[in-house]
Structure 1
Amino acid sequence: MEDNQIQKEIQSQNQLSNDEIISWGQLLSEAKDTLTKANVPDADIDAWLLMEHCFSITKSFFFLNRRQIVESKEKIKQYREFIKQRAARIPLQYLTKTQGFMGLEFSVTPAVLIPRQDTETLVETLLSYAKDKPGASLIDVCTGSGCIAVSLAHYGNFAQVTASDISSAALLVAKKNAADNHASVQFFESDLLEQVPGRFDMIVSNPPYIEDDVILGLEPEVKDNEPMIALSGGKDGLIFYRRLTETAKDHLNPGGALFVEIGYNQWEAVAELFRANGFSKPTLVRDLAGLDRVVWGVLDEM
């Protein structure tokens, strides 16, 4: 076949592709099949959520128009690119760039851990504790996206909410989320509490707590995409609990309290660290699934 004939054939194929006619229903079905073949969890849900995000449509619109032709070729191309990335196990939230938490919307990027509903237990526990302590001060350590600090500033009655993170990239996301949600939060770039001045009535943290060996067996969405600095708690998952409990007394006011999220199997180990560092009566809180989720305690009076 001569070169000019080959070129004509390519042009003909491209024209067919450019002129493709596809309905809303066919496009969604195609996306579901792609994600299912890639073993993506909840393929049906993610295919729809990405369509909703890409085309800004409602389910009512879709069901009323599912046999109609999708007019925007550019949007079809964009949607298929989203599906391609999701099939490669890029987390849905990194594609839509948003995640709901405590009834608020948070921007997320690969610089931060994606907020989980489980962590709402930590926020709700602290809000319940602080409801009769108006005007208290607190700091959220390892703030990441800022979802904890922003939620506490939004729903609580605190005189001061502070947040810290070692990652400057994460702090940029957290500051945006505070601004977007009209929350007053002061931010510090700090390794835990090392570069943060002053003392607080409460310290809260969802630190990295997954054992290094366990990380290797996690879903690709997590182990290959979310920041390792926000996941790894070292060989036993307890590195940051040791550091937090050891230094908390130097950053808490008298009678101050420490709240941390934990893994489902870490209650006894973390409770022992609390007791060894001046929190004699640590308390366990379970999440909605019945799993151990939060440990908190009040610093013993000297």
Structure 2
Amino acid sequence: MRDGSATVARLLEDATARIGTTLGLDRREARLEARVLAAFAWDVAPAWLVAHDTDIVEDGPAAQFAGLLARRLAGEPVAYLTGTREFFGRPFLVTPDVLIPRPDTELIVELALARMPPERPVDVLDLGTGSGCIAITLALERPLARIAAVDRSPAALTIARRNAEKLDAPVEFINSDWYETLGDRRFDLIVSNPPYIAPNDPHLVRGDVRFEPRSALTADHAGLADLRRLIVGARRHLRPHGALLLEHGHDHAAAVRRLLSAAGFDRPQSWRDLAGIERVSGGGVSE
């Protein structure tokens, strides 16, 4: 909407209605997305939009906002439009080369931190690091820990390194297909949010995931192929009394626990996310 007299409030109201109708979001979600895009277009904090809701919008910001809105209405994720997404209270750079960090993944960070004593160094491996959000968060929350992060995508590692530099996080990044180039290195804890969506899952043609890298989303054998590979290879890279934590799909918990048990992990268990879904499973090794 550009009639030469549109106010901030009017543009936001129009955008909220269009986002809600086109993308099927409730008014609260649509309003939040409209404000995020507007703040990015205006290059201001979201609070500025409230304080200046009666201001007449200049043509430049209005045109940029209209362009962002059109792309969002076509389905592009807000995080890719603005180039950032918050995770564990910190801003992370994101591009279509990496998955968008999601609140569900904060669970594996919390579980990992509980296994990382703050008073002594531990070695932690993050497999399939993507944007680096897990590895970087662990490094910043546990300054004594030594964090290594692996990804097979050079493009993803570029983004992860930029995030580590931006947030001043000491993380070692390694280009590897899972454990392939790690040799005999061992760790106290291994964590991963691997691809776990079945290739024929109908959710892949809906919402934000349509724009995310398919290689970071899907795995064969009903989404279990990479989870199985990580579990089978983990024992060789874990020290005595080490542990493995894996994020997985909403219906994978029982299968992952069976795989952990078959691989010799002690007391496999699963943990529920805020929606009550068993989202992370793991186990430890005694020797």
The alpha carbon displacement at 1:79 in A equals: 0.6
Distance in structure 2 (CA, Å) of the matches to 1:105 and 1:147: 9
Distance in structure 1 (CA, Å) of the matches to 2:181 and 2:231: 17
The alpha carbon displacement at 1:170 in A equals: 0.4
* Among candidates 20, 23, 44, match of residue 39 of structure 1: 23
Contact 2:118 2:144 in 1 (8 A): no
5+ residue gaps, structure 2, are none
Show the 5 A alignment for 1:107-256: 107-131=93-117, 134-197=120-183, 198-216=185-203, 218-222=205-209, 224-256=210-242
Distance in structure 1 (CA, Å) of the matches to 2:145 and 2:118: 13
1:284: which partner in 2?
Answer: 270
TM-score, normalised with respect to structure 2:
0.92
5+ residue gaps, structure 1, are 1-16
1:266: which partner in 2?
Answer: 252
Q: Per the alignment, do residues 215 and 143 of structure 1 end up closer, same or farther by CA in structure 2, a change over 3 Å counting?
A: farther
**Is the partner of 1:164 in helix, strand or coil?**
strand
* Among candidates 45, 60, 67, match of residue 54 of structure 2: 67
Amino acid at match of 2:186: R
Amino acid at match of 2:17: D
Alpha-carbon RMSD: 2.0
Q: Per the alignment, do residues 170 and 124 of structure 1 end up closer, same or farther by CA in structure 2, a change over 3 Å counting?
A: same
Contact 2:132 2:164 in 1 (8 A): yes
Contact 1:208 1:237 in 2 (8 A): yes
Q: Deviations over 1:19-56 (max 9, x none)?
A: 83322122222322332342252322211111122113
Q: Deviations over 1:74-94 (max 9, x none)?
A: 111111000000000100000
Distance in structure 2 (CA, Å) of the matches to 1:37 and 1:286: 32
TM-score, normalised with respect to structure 1:
0.88
Amino acid at match of 2:32: I
The alpha carbon displacement at 1:158 in A equals: 4.0
Distance in structure 2 (CA, Å) of the matches to 1:257 and 1:128: 12
Q: Per the alignment, do residues 23 and 127 of structure 1 end up closer, same or farther by CA in structure 2, a change over 3 Å counting?
A: same
Contact 1:166 1:190 in 2 (8 A): yes
Matched, 1:90 2:68: no
- Computing the radius of gyration from Cα coordinates, the structure with the larger value is 1
Contact 1:274 1:297 in 2 (8 A): yes
Distance in structure 2 (CA, Å) of the matches to 1:159 and 1:27: 47
**Is the partner of 1:236 in helix, strand or coil?**
helix
Amino acid at match of 2:249: G
Contact 1:134 1:157 in 2 (8 A): no
